[in-house]
Amino acid sequence: MKRNWWKWVLGLVILVGVCWPAYTWSQANIKTLKNAGRSQMAPVIMIPGSSATQNRFDSLITELGKETPKKHSVLKLTVQTDGSIKYSGSIDNRDKEPFIVIGFANNKDGKANIDKQAVWLNTALKELIKTYKFNHFSALGHSNGGLIWTLFLERYLKQSPKVHVDRLMTIASPYNMESTSTTAKTSMFKELYKYRSGLPESLTVYSIAGTENYSSDGTVPANSVNYGKYIYQHQVKHFTEITVTGANTAHSDLPQNKQIVALIRQYLLVEKVPDRIRRQNQQQPRQ
């Protein structure tokens, strides 16, 4: 046996030589199958906060257009209270990642209206899917727009079973409304918490808070934004909280804040960010 050790080594080398190509092929095939059926178009769908119109993200879109490797066409929708939709702008047929902004004719604050807006979002998304034939997308919500997205993902996305959301980013979303408490829970939070098991398990979520004074962005308490972790953690694939401080961190300034623009480009659009900004962003998140 000792004289034949080299035969065992040779056999092992041959076995590895045969199996390794098969393994790499199978891994590549698995990746191909996972991506099979995914539409080439994967829009980024944005929802503004209360009292804001479909033009709320114009400054953000302008900022994203600077130093970006590709341009994005923009389509805007306003959903009326009867479910009808008014459109402006258009999507370029060659654009695989267009921006779609959905606003509401009734854009008032309050839990009852947020519940209605989640239903209207469902109406708008079904119409968009029917028209543009996409089956996956990323989502962005500012302020109450993040609550509308959360309710929609918990309760209504399942009505479009062939469609899934890749990533969600919420900016200054008050998951516990105006409450500054770390213990008291509002009816809005209780509803979001109640239906959290409906969230897509494959979803990646980024929750961004802005703070002028480390406790608030002037409108939304940081503690309320932090309540998002009780909704998303252990329900989705990844959940990350990010706090942005410094200049232009007032609530209305956050969507076009340069740090947040860089975070959107890096995490939501997955576009190349300058190394200096990337290092800065990597110091911000806390799991």
CA distance 134 to 129: 6
Regions of the chain with pLDDT less than 70? 1-13, 15-36, 67-69, 272-287
Q: What is the pLDDT of residues 24-50, one digit of tens each?
A: 544 444 343 344 478 899 999 999 999
How confident is the model at residue 270, as a pLDDT?
73
- Report the predicted TM-score, pTM, of the whole model to 2 decimal places: 0.83
How confident is the model at residue 286, as a pLDDT?
42
Contacts (Cβ under 8 Å, ≥6 apart) of 44:
72, 97, 98, 99, 100, 137, 138, 139, 140, 268, 269
Helix (H) or strand (E) holding 89: strand 85-89
How confident is the model at residue 66, as a pLDDT?
82
CA distance 195 to 117: 17
Q: Which domains does the chain have, with CATH numbers?
A: 42-282 (3.40.50.1820)
